[in-house]
């Protein structure tokens, strides 16, 4: 294929005829003029900008087609918005609800950065909502209200083509857009990293479909913000604080005893909240009623994370799945302290629950709602903690009950392999997450190190 770098791009020519106005992009290759007519100036501007960008990149143009070489891959003929929708649809059938939602968020941020001009005719928040909740939601796209449909048509007309990804400056611009939220504040490092991960999958998909020749995203160390999975030690509750919080929940007027039993399971056995929500009565193995101070056993085999009805296949708020990071049918058994035995026995009796019933139910017998759980926990913290304590990370999230239990097991000397088994983690993940929270064992560790030291006594330095 013959190519040339001798390219000149001229201004857009406007022709007003009886049938309407035509906007023509003109450019020359080795002195030979080429033309491309468009019905609107916006389309002509977009095409001319792509030609100019190609010349600035030093890209060769094909003498046979008159277009930049990158056009041969299909990058110029594919609109980013159309590609992003196609990618979202491919991912929909492969992923769970939360992953679908994260994909939509990443594609929304990317699409905003890929617009030719800011959405002056619409509110920025409305454009983002239209993209996140409808354009990149396979289930709801065809249900978009008229107001949303108008916004999405504007986005489609004003989005750059995939050829923009061959401009390193544009790639950097898109990645920088991930760093800032709509209100101008800096995005969390974990959010930025997640968006980059989704975009990288999208770029690999573009390469696979021959829309792009190579993945344009930078590789190697330092290309994504650093994040830490370690638990903040300030979030861990001590025994007295946990007792006061659970005691307040128990005395709550509406659903107090039921929520008390739920939080007690989190505190004594450390499951993820979505695992505790999914438990059935038959998953609790209680000792005989006349056996005092006996441990119980809890079986965890299912999770019911709260995703949102717009992102699940069934249209329900929760999505049923297996345990995190485990095979579909995997299970784990965790021992429950005698105090938990008494709490669960009392709870099952008071609620009149049968073996196949949900262990923790909402007021209508449905799954216990996350909003109810979070509201009760926030109220407990506000009632028990001082204003200064309330504003700290101390037990701020319901999930911190799990962190508290796993930390306590490690501090009590339970082997990490056993704690990892009970927690449903791998040992490396467990240690990376909780190493900073392990304390109170320094004296014992010093004693062990002294006992193992068998070197002869060193002579004084002055001898």
Assigned token pair, 45: 């501007």
Please give the distance of CA 46 from its chain centroid, rounded to a whole number. 33
Please write the tens of the pLDDT for every residue from 39-59.
778 878 888 998 999 898 888
- Same domain for 85 and 68: no
Higher pLDDT, 43 or 268: 268
- Same domain for 193 and 125: yes
- The confidence band for 386, taking pLDDT boundaries of 50, 70 and 90, is very high
pLDDT value, residue 134 = 96
184 pLDDT higher than 80: no
Higher pLDDT, 452 or 260: 260
* Residue at 436 is within a domain: no
- The confidence band for 402, taking pLDDT boundaries of 50, 70 and 90, is very high
Average pLDDT score over residue span 326-340:
89
71 pLDDT higher than 70: no
Please write the tens of the pLDDT for every residue from 416-432.
999 999 999 889 989 88
272 pLDDT higher than 60: yes
- Same domain for 263 and 142: no
* pTM exceeds 0.75: no
Average pLDDT score over residue span 74-101:
88
- Same domain for 151 and 88: yes
* Residue at 459 is within a domain: no
pLDDT value, residue 455 = 52
pLDDT value, residue 408 = 92
pLDDT value, residue 461 = 44
Higher pLDDT, 383 or 318: 383
Of 192, 278, 184, the residue nearest 227 (C-alpha): 192
362 pLDDT higher than 70: yes
Q: Could you give the CA distance from residue 317 to residue 98 in angstroms, rounded to a whole number?
A: 11
* Residue at 41 is within a domain: yes
Q: What is the DSSP string of 309-377?
A: GGGSSSS-SB--B--TTS-TT--EEEEE-HHHHHHHHHHHHHHT--TTSBSSB-TTSSBPPHHHHHHHH
CA–CA distance from 383 to each of 234, 355, 431 (Å)? 19, 35, 33
18 pLDDT higher than 70: no
- Same domain for 259 and 170: no
Looking at every residue in the chain, the average pLDDT score rounds to 87
Higher pLDDT, 289 or 155: 155
* Residue at 231 is within a domain: no
Question: What range defines the domain where residue 32 resides?
Answer: 3-73
456 pLDDT higher than 70: no
- The confidence band for 459, taking pLDDT boundaries of 50, 70 and 90, is low
Higher pLDDT, 111 or 36: 111
Write the CATH number for 304.
Answer: 1.10.443.10
pLDDT value, residue 37 = 80
* Residue at 252 is within a domain: yes
Number of domains in the chain: 3
pLDDT value, residue 442 = 53
Q: Which of the residue ranges 152-156, 295-299, 398-402, 434-438 would you say has the lowest mean pLDDT?
A: 434-438
348 pLDDT higher than 90: yes
- Same domain for 288 and 255: yes
Q: Could you give the CA distance from residue 313 to residue 443 in angstroms, rounded to a whole number?
A: 54
């Amino acid at each position: 294929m013959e190519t040339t770098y001798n390219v000149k791009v001229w201004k857009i020519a406007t022709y007003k005829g009886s049938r309407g106005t035509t906007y023509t992009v003109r450019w020359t290759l080795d002195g030979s003029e080429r033309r491309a007519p468009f019905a609107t100036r916006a389309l002509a501007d977009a095409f001319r900008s792509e030609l100019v960008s190609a010349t600035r990149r030093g890209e060769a143009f094909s003498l046979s087609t008159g277009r930049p070489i990158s056009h041969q891959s299909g990058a110029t003929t594919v609109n980013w918005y159309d590609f992003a929708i196609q990618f979202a649809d491919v991912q929909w059938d492969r992923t769970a609800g939360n992953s679908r939602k994260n994909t939509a968020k990443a594609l929304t941020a990317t699409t905003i950065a890929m617009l030719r001009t800011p959405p002056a005719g619409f509110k920025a928040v409305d454009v983002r909502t239209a993209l996140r909740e409808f354009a990149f939601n396979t289930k709801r796209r065809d249900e978009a209200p008229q107001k949303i449909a108008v916004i999405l048509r504007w986005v489609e007309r004003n989005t750059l083509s995939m050829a923009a990804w061959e401009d390193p400056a544009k790639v950097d611009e898109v990645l920088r857009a991930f760093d800032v939220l709509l209100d101008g504040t800096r995005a969390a490092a974990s959010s930025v990293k997640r968006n980059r991960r989704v975009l990288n999958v999208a770029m690999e998909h573009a390469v696979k479909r021959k829309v792009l020749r190579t993945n344009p995203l930078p590789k190697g160390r330092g290309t994504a913000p650093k994040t830490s999975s370690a638990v903040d030690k300030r979030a861990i509750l001590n025994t007295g604080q946990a007792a006061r919080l659970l005691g307040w929940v128990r005395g709550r007027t509406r659903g107090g005893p039921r929520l008390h039993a739920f939080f007690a399971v989190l505190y004594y056995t450390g499951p993820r909240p979505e695992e505790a929500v999914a438990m059935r009565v038959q998953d609790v193995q209680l000792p005989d009623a006349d056996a005092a101070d006996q441990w119980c056993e809890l079986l965890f085999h299912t999770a019911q994370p709260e995703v949102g009805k717009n992102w699940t296949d069934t249209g329900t708020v929760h999505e049923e799945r297996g345990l995190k990071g485990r095979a579909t049918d995997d299970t784990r058994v965790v021992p429950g302290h005698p105090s938990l035995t008494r709490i669960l026995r009392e709870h099952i009796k008071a609620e009149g629950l049968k073996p196949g019933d949900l262990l923790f139910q909402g007021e209508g017998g449905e799954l216990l709602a996350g909003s109810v759980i979070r509201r009760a926990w926030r109220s407990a913290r506000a009632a028990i903690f001082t204003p200064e304590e309330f504003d700290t990370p101390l037990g701020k999230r319901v999930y911190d009950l799990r962190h508290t239990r796993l930390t306590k097991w490690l501090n009590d000397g339970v082997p990490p392999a056993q704690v990892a088994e009970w927690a449903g983690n791998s040992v490396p993940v467990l240690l990376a997450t909780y190493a900073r929270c392990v304390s109170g064992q320094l004296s014992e560790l010093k004693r062990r190190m002294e006992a193992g030291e068998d070197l002869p006594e060193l002579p004084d330095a002055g001898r």
